[in-house]
Amino acid sequence: MKKVAMSVLCICAVATFAYGGLLDPVSMIFEIPQFAKLPALKAANKSDDLASLQRGVRGDFVQQLKGLVGAATQKHDHAAARRAISLIYLLGAMRVARAAPAMVEGIALAPHWHGLLRDALPPPFIIEGGYPAVPALVRVGMPSVRAILKVLPTERSALRRKLMVQVMVGVEGWAVTRFRLRRAIAKATDKAAKANLEAALGDVPPPPHPRAGHK
């Protein structure tokens, strides 16, 4: 149990610095739910299988994230939002695929410092650094794209839609993202879903300019 707890703490610290260092590492670690309360760790004395124990810990974190994101987005619980953001950093660093749907649900959650920096920093930084779920979902990879494509047709928030497109571009690039969205638009039968997907296609950034002198 101690080995697992220490490894999770190390990942937590690495995630803090990897995702842009403006968070206080100590405060972030204390926002993570107490490890001793995780069901997987309570059963640690019954098993010496470290790999299965680590899987259990990841599953416990995913379940906690689902509840915290729900409280943060539906009840506007600020404490739950802080804890959810901490878990998003952690699960992104661990590349936990099954956390993708919950992270997509919490994609617009932002740390308390986000509002203070919105006017002081350029948009690309705010999108990637201000919304921790964006880089976390990019790290998870294709499971994030699949989770996004399930909810994008019914997404009404322009901000959330733009952030989802940022993730898709971050995982597969602008060309594949445009291809996937065009294919989804062609398959859509509902007018509202088609309109949402077309709006998402419009959010895809233009292709990068070739380097000077490159043909």
Residues 105 and 159 reside in one and the same domain: no
pLDDT of residue 16: 46
Identify the band that residue 181 occupies on the pLDDT scale cut at 50, 70 and 90: very high
What one-letter code names the amino acid at 108? A
| 150 within domain boundaries | yes
| 187 within domain boundaries | yes
> Would residue 95 be called left, alpha or beta, if left means φ above 0 and alpha means ψ between -120 and 50 degrees?
left
pLDDT of residue 36: 46
| 215 within domain boundaries | no
Q: How many CB atoms lie within 10 A of CB 23?
A: 21
Q: Which residue has the higher pLDDT, 11 or 184?
A: 184
pLDDT of residue 59: 77
Residues 84 and 10 reside in one and the same domain: yes
| 16 within domain boundaries | yes
Residues 92 and 29 reside in one and the same domain: yes
| 132 within domain boundaries | no
Fill in the DSSP letter of residue 124.
H
pLDDT of residue 89: 85
Among 119, 153, 177, the domain-final residue is 119
| 129 within domain boundaries | no
Number of domains in the chain: 2
What percent of the chain stands above pLDDT 70?
A: 62
- Candidates 94, 99, 95; CA nearest to 84 is 99
| 185 within domain boundaries | yes
- Least reliable range by pLDDT among 31-35, 46-50, 127-131, 170-174: 31-35
Summarize pLDDT for 42-90 with one digit per residue, the tens: 555 555 555 665 666 677 888 888 998 999 988 888 888 888 888 888 8
Q: Assess whether pLDDT exceeds 50 at residue 210.
A: yes
Q: Assess whether pLDDT exceeds 80 at residue 133.
A: yes
- Candidates 135, 151, 130; CA nearest to 91 is 135
Among 85, 119, 153, the domain-final residue is 119
Q: Which residue has the higher pLDDT, 91 or 28?
A: 91
Residues 164 and 58 reside in one and the same domain: no
- Distance of alpha carbon 197 from alpha carbon 13, whole angstroms: 37
Residues 110 and 153 reside in one and the same domain: no
pLDDT of residue 137: 95
pLDDT of residue 18: 44
State the average pLDDT for the chain: 76
pTM for this entry: 0.73
- Least reliable range by pLDDT among 4-8, 78-82, 93-97: 4-8
pLDDT of residue 127: 42
- Least reliable range by pLDDT among 37-51, 112-126, 141-155: 112-126
Q: Which domain holds residue 169?
A: 141-207
Average pLDDT rounded to a whole number, residues 124-146: 81
Q: Which residue has the higher pLDDT, 56 or 110?
A: 110
Residues 100 and 150 reside in one and the same domain: no
Among 58, 85, 119, the domain-final residue is 119
- Distance of alpha carbon 144 from alpha carbon 53, whole angstroms: 24
